[in-house]
Amino acid sequence: MDLSIIVPLYNEVDSLPELASWITRVMEAHRYSHEIILVDDGSNDGSWETIEALAAGNPCIRGIKFRRNYGKSAALHRGFEVAAGSVVITMDADLQDSPDEIPALYRMITDEQYDLVSGWKKKRHDPLSKTLPTKLFNATARCFSGLKLHDFNCGLKAYKSTVVKNIEVYGEMHRYIPILAKQAGFTRIGEREVMHQARKFGSSKFGLNRFINGFLDLLTVTFITRFSKKPMHLFGALGTLLFIAGFCAATWIGIEKWIAVSRDIKAPLVANNPYFYIALACMILGTQLFLAGFLAELISRNAHDRNSYHVEKTT
Section 8-18 average pLDDT:
94
Backbone φ/ψ region at 188: left (φ over 0), alpha (ψ -120 to 50), beta: beta
In tens, the pLDDT along 185-226 reads 899 999 999 988 777 776 665 555 666 666 676 777 767 666
139, 170, 233, 236, 287 from 227: Cα distances, Å? 22, 18, 7, 11, 19
Tell me which of 26 and 304 has the higher pLDDT. 26
In tens, the pLDDT along 47-64 reads 999 999 999 999 999 999
Other CB atoms within 10 A of residue 249 CB: 17
Tell me which of 30 and 126 has the higher pLDDT. 30
Name the CA dihedral angle for 217, 220, 221, 223, rounded to a multiple of 10 degrees.
160
Give 301-306 contacts, CB < 8 A, sequence gap 24+.
Answer: 306/229
112 DSSP 8-state letter:
S
The whole-number pLDDT of residue 207 equals 54
CA 129 to chain centre: 22
Name the CA dihedral angle for 204, 208, 209, 211, rounded to a multiple of 10 degrees.
100
The whole-number pLDDT of residue 243 equals 93
Distance CA 147, CA 16 (A): 33
Section 6-20 average pLDDT:
94
Distance CA 187, CA 66 (A): 33
In tens, the pLDDT along 165-176 reads 998 888 778 888
By DSSP bridging, strand 116-120 and strand 157-160 are: antiparallel
In tens, the pLDDT along 66-86 reads 999 998 999 999 999 999 999
Q: What is the DSSP string of 54-107?
A: HHHH-TTEEEEE-SS---HHHHHHHHHHH--SSEEEE--SSS-S-GGGHHHHHH
Model confidence at 129, pLDDT cuts 50, 70, 90, reads low
Distance CA 65, CA 41 (A): 6
Distance CA 223, CA 227 (A): 5
What is the edge-to-edge ordering of all strands in the sheet holding 87-90?
61-65, 34-40, 3-9, 87-90, 157-160, 116-120, 189-193
